[in-house]
Structure 1
Amino acid sequence: MSSPNSSRSGSFISLGRGWHTTTFRWLTVYAVVFTISIMSLLAFVEQSVTRAMENEADSGVRWQLRYFDSITDADLASAIDKRVQHEQHRSNYYGLFAADGRRLAGDIVTLPSRLSITQTGESRNDAIGQTVSLAHNPSMPTVRALAERRASGVQLVIGRSVADIIDIKDELIKALVWGGLSCAAASLVTGLLLSIRQIKRVQAIQRVTTQIAQGDIKQRLPINGGDELTLLSHLVNYMLDEVERLMTEVKTACDGIAHDLRTPLAHVRTLLTNIADRASVIGDNQVQDLAKEASLEADSLLGRFRALLRMSEIGALKRREGFRSLSLPTLIFELCELYEPLAEEMSIRLRWNAESMEPIYGDRDLLFEAFSNLLDNSIKFTPAGGDVSVELTSSTLGPRLVVLDNGPGIAENEREAVLQRFYRAEKTRHVPGSGLGLGIVSAVMRMHDFGLNICSANPGAVFVVECWPHSLQ
């Protein structure tokens, strides 16, 4: 089964597929790169701030170690206790331990494990503190600590609280996480919104291109914005202007030729008829037969010119200008009554059935002409004693008209071609005709946006007209 509408309808992009657009993909890539960059920057800032504050804490601890160097080992314990008593903000911590690790003074309860201990007299300019936790202290603070072993063997530990550093680090980590998530979410939402906007523009272009494909060559792509789509629309519209101009010139020339030749041909046919009448008077049967044969050929040419002009008239009609509400069952009844005498004359059984249904919207005269061509085509190619049936039924989508015959049928590889002008199927070339009847049917179906399918009846042909819209408007 083939349909001239199937290639015109196309598949439209859905708004639900916005994440499949190029805009969304590029914005997603940008969002990922931007988010990683922001998070890397925040991580760098966090490391820099933490290192700077630790260096500041180390500097303070080194200064206090120098202060205690001026105090003898005998007075060191009392000096530490006094310093602890006067420590109000609890930002500094002190501990004095014997060589065996026993606590002698200060508020550091136990000697921190894994803490490097320097010897008295070593340079402290490059000494780097260690961050340790005073696990056995009541407040369990984390401090930046340095330790030294005095000449007497006692060990002095001084630590400065890094609670501020930890708080700042925690805040920076929160900013790192939430800032990254916020940037990613905002970028994705923005990308989706921009994608939806682009999809709407593409859908508008699709609707116009569908109308152009259906024959409305005067339509133009919408122009809005200043991006690549607008540039493309300008180029396509310029191309359509040129195509319309060329088609108008060709159509005008063809219509002029058809119109100009029709009148001389009519005169030639009249002269041939007069010659045949004169030959019958003088009794020249050979001249009479030749004149009649030439008259038939002239009638065939006139028929072709009339069909060509009719197709041009259909193409020139404004879309849906003559559309009205009409009853398809009544139209089919009138059509079959008109062709019933012709079918009887050719010894063909014509049967029809039309269900009751709601009126449709269309051009009654054009539909009558198109259905007449279908029925005439079936009767013409059905042999004597054959059957032709016309059936109008109602489906869930709309009315469906089926015209069936048991003639030679149409080969599958010719079902698209027979809808073009002048094409004659191989099996029916011997039957007189112009090859334009189905072309008119196709033109009317395109104007109404109806589906026209051709398939095989084994033997014979089946024409199925689906009388409902087949593309999005």
Structure 2
Amino acid sequence: MFRSTSLRLAAVYTLMFSIAVVVLGALTLFTTRQALSADVDARIRAESAALVQEFRTEGLPGVLGAVRERDRTPGALNYGLEGPGTRAMAGRLAGAKAPLGWSVLRIAQPGGELEPIRVYTSRLPGDLRLVVGDDLDRIETLDGAVIRGFGWAFVGVVLLGVGGGYAFSRDIHRRLAAISATAEAIIDGDLGSRVPLRGSDDDLDRLAATFNRMLDRIAALMETLKQVSNDIAHDMRTPLTRLRQKLETGLAQPGERGQALESALTDLDAILETFAALLRIAQIQSGARRAAFRPTDLSAVAQTVVEAFSPSAEDARQTLTLEATGPVLIEGDPELLTQMLVNLVENALRHAGAGSRIRVRASSNGSGAQLTVIDNGPGVPAAERERLFDRFYRLERSRSTPGSGLGLALVSAVAELHGAEVKLAGANPGLEACVTFARPPPRATDSRR
């Protein structure tokens, strides 16, 4: 913990605040001393001017009386009246031989201590000198109080900085240690380990929540990978075994070798298509295709798909129609969106049956856009609708039809890449597959640009 960044930051902030206290104390001391000194000087100058005026009006006797009276008044200033040759005439400061103007004298006290006094000496007619002064004890007393106050403040800042920094670093260390321990547990194979949250919603709590969501995503991907591996091992066993049997038949019966090889190639193509679909789903789920996002019109995508599959629908005595009233713009990958809709339409055409009607609808509202494929075929039981998005999952009645069970898994992957939600619902009769894009569609000006 003593090597932690948080403790070093706390030490730096403590040092900065300590320096700030010292600078503030020095400024306060200087400002206060200047203000008090200016007040003392103003008081001395005013008193000296008053006594000079007294001399002009009352003469020497008036000044002598005034000085003697003021000198006996408690709390008054200090005075001195000197004759020619700095002869003491009256007042405590008489005979101090202060120079003309401003100066500081040190007068001995009864206890032997020297008291600093700020004095102003002015010349009077008749070679007389008037000295008026004020002691500086209260300025020095205030200086001492300011220094002591800021000294205690400095000590308090240092103590609070050290104590608070230690407590802060200890708390940060504990929480980072919890994150580190969780990472170590995951490295050791415990994918269910998560960082504990305090519920304070501070930076570290939000970091821990993000970390946990990342771990949930990793765990889900690992589980998906495990499930895919199991599904591949299970679903590929049958076509590979059939392929081997056909090749063995061709080797055992030379007359049927060509037919066996042709059938084996057909099975091999189906297996390769399955692996290609798995790789495509993995590529989509990795998010690598987001770079191809651009403003895309779902109505145009739907029209392209409907026009491409209309001849196949007519051959199967099915009706394929488009329902779109205008542009439906979203940010997406046109190629992936087209592939997603192709899979939905192929799924409907394959399982709805002859004479069925399939509708493709592109619509939008204030909050997003929808792409829907509706058929009036036999539909899917509610309990099995969500499982149709699992890789290789097929209904029992659909196992006799061509397909690998990856079409709707690819639809789910494309929808997730686009931040959309895909749901299957009953159409009474039939099935409705709806992809809802929650993001607001871009403006038409963005599409043109």
TM-score (norm 1): 0.42
Kindly indicate whether structure 1 or structure 2 has the higher relative contact order, using CA contacts under 8 Å at least 6 residues apart. Answer: 1
